Amino acid sequence: MKVPFLDIKLQNEPLRDEIRAAIEAVIDSAAFAGGPFVESFEADFADYCCAGRAVGVSNGTDALWLTLLAMEVGPGDEVITVPSTFMATAEAITYCGARPVFVDIDESTYTMDPGALSEAITPRTKAIIPVHLFGQPADMDPIMVIARRHGLRVIEDAAQAHGATYKGLPAGSIGDAGCFSFYPGKNLGAFGEAGAVVTGDDELCDRLRILRDHGQVHKYHHTMIGWNCRMDGIQAAVLEIKLRHLNAANARRRAIAARYDRELAGLPGLVTPARSPHAQHVYHVYAIRTPDRDDVIRSLAQNGVGTGIHYPIPVHLQGAYSGLGYGRGDFPRAERCAEEFISLPMFPELTGPQVSHVVQTLKETLCAGVMA
Ligand SMILES: *Cc1c(COP(=O)(O)O)cnc(C)c1O
């Protein structure tokens, strides 16, 4: 049996006619860059996130970068984040001229350790970017308390957490701003590149709208140096339809995760993801940990099961960041996880028999390992 790691085609198939009609409406109106379709999606997405306002942008990386720029983070400043994330979180910090400062993760939730956060704050610190890795919100309450005590802004990297909640509040609505990616493989995926920032801060929202459109307040009146980070009308029209199906898709992911949790529990040398009592996880990624990663991946592949690794190299050890002066051993929990993570197949259309096949293969592999 074949079990792909991800199959986006299956997700789009039932929506094909509805999406085709929406794209045709964009063609008819020629509102391709920004415009009414983007505004309509922004209103829906802000409501979905209980976040006041949303600003549609070109992708998730730009969402993070523009938010930092809008907060006037720049050269000489430090922004604290985690090394267990996609490269983009740190790149956004670097691109506005500030320095990424990393803190280790909590080894059960794989998100920012608030204790480590306190120790990393310096007089140069301007902002904190907790990452809701794999779809599980970071422990936001202590992070917000620390941030407020030091007068720091908080940007949630919610690129993997559309629809997740923390103590009942939607991911993205807790900090000063929440940044989302609609890259096709995310829980809410566009037909290309797109992203958004949600915020309850009207002044920040206004600055973001100006920055994403060349710093223009009105056509050809530029009050800031901005950039072109507009969202496409077609992406907005597609996302507006897919947003209506997001809760059902996330519920499917949670049901699949519950089966993995239950059926993989107690296997020798395997750790399943912990559920934070405060959070509703949306399982963008279902990552297990095992010290015998290479053998397990090989055995799954031999049995037709696709896997991924998110991420094999923590950001502080990436070659591109060698200039920051970090080294192996600086963030032992993030490093250990990076060596042990395996992402199992996870998407809403995964069938019951496919999940059984993944579980059965893992059982045979890990139990054979113990017998050998
Ligand atoms: C996908 C992702 C991003 C970047 O989003 P893009 O839309 O690909 O630019 C940023 N942070 C995290 C945690 C992500 O998973």
Tens-digit pLDDT profile for residues 144-167: 999 999 999 999 999 999 999 999
Cα–Cα dist 79/98, whole Å: 7
**What sign does the CA torsion over 364, 369, 371, 372 have?**
positive
235 lines ligand 1 (CB under 6 A): no
Pocket test of ligand 1: the residue of 160, 229, 346 to mutate, having most ligand atoms within 8 Å of its CB, is 160
Tens-digit pLDDT profile for residues 52-68: 999 999 999 999 999 99
pLDDT of 368: 82
- 8 A C-beta contact, residue 177 and residue 67: yes
Question: How confident is residue 41, by pLDDT bands cut at 50, 70 and 90?
Answer: very high
CA–centroid distance, 258 to ligand 1, in Å, is 25
Q: Cα–Cα distances in Å, from 135 out to 46, 141, 273?
A: 19, 17, 11
- Name 213's bridge partners: 228
Calculate the CA 31 to chain-centre distance.
28
343 lines ligand 1 (CB under 6 A): no
CA–centroid distance, 14 to ligand 1, in Å, is 26
Q: What is the average pLDDT across 172-181?
A: 98
Position 317, amino acid: L
pLDDT of 214: 97
Please, what is the average pLDDT of the chain?
Answer: 97
Question: What's the per-residue H, E or C state across the chain?
Answer: CCECCCCHHHHHHHHHHHHHHHHHHHHHHCCCECCHHHHHHHHHHHHHCCCCEEEEECCHHHHHHHHHHHCCCCCCCEEEECCCCCHHHHHHHHHCCCEEEECCECCCCCCECHHHHHHHCCCCEEEECCECHHHCCCCHHHHHHHHHHHCCEEEEECCCCCCCEECCEECCCCCCEEEEECCCCCCCCCCCCCEEEEECCHHHHHHHHHHCECCEEECCEECCCCCECCCEHHHHHHHHHHHCCHHHHHHHHHHHHHHHHHHHCCCCCCECCCCCCCEECCCCCEEEECCCHHHHHHHHHHCCECCECCCCCCHHHCHHHHHHCCCCCCCHHHHHHHHHEEEECCCCCCCHHHHHHHHHHHHHHHHHHHHC
Question: How confident is residue 108, by pLDDT bands cut at 50, 70 and 90?
Answer: very high
Pocket test of ligand 1: the residue of 134, 155, 183 to mutate, having most ligand atoms within 8 Å of its CB, is 183
Q: What is the average pLDDT across 63-90?
A: 98
pLDDT at 370 over 80: no
Structural domains in the chain, CATH included, are 8-243 (3.40.640.10), 246-371 (3.90.1150.10)
Question: How confident is residue 372, by pLDDT bands cut at 50, 70 and 90?
Answer: low
Tens-digit pLDDT profile for residues 303-348: 999 999 999 999 999 999 999 999 999 999 999 999 999 999 999 9
- pTM for this prediction: 0.98
Q: What is the Cα Rg of the chain in Å?
A: 21
Instruction: Give the residue carrying structure tokens 């209103």.
Output: 43
Question: How confident is residue 369, by pLDDT bands cut at 50, 70 and 90?
Answer: low
Contacts of 296 (CB under 8 A, 6+ apart): 290, 342, 362, 365, 366
Cα–Cα dist 278/165, whole Å: 8
187 lines ligand 1 (CB under 6 A): no
CA–centroid distance, 160 to ligand 1, in Å, is 7
Tens-digit pLDDT profile for residues 186-232: 999 999 999 999 999 999 999 999 999 999 999 999 999 999 999 99
Furthest-apart CA atoms within the chain: distance in Å = 72
Cα–Cα dist 198/176, whole Å: 9
pLDDT at 371 over 60: no
Question: How confident is residue 129, by pLDDT bands cut at 50, 70 and 90?
Answer: very high
Cα–Cα dist 243/45, whole Å: 8
Cα–Cα dist 317/315, whole Å: 5
Calculate the CA 197 to chain-centre distance.
12
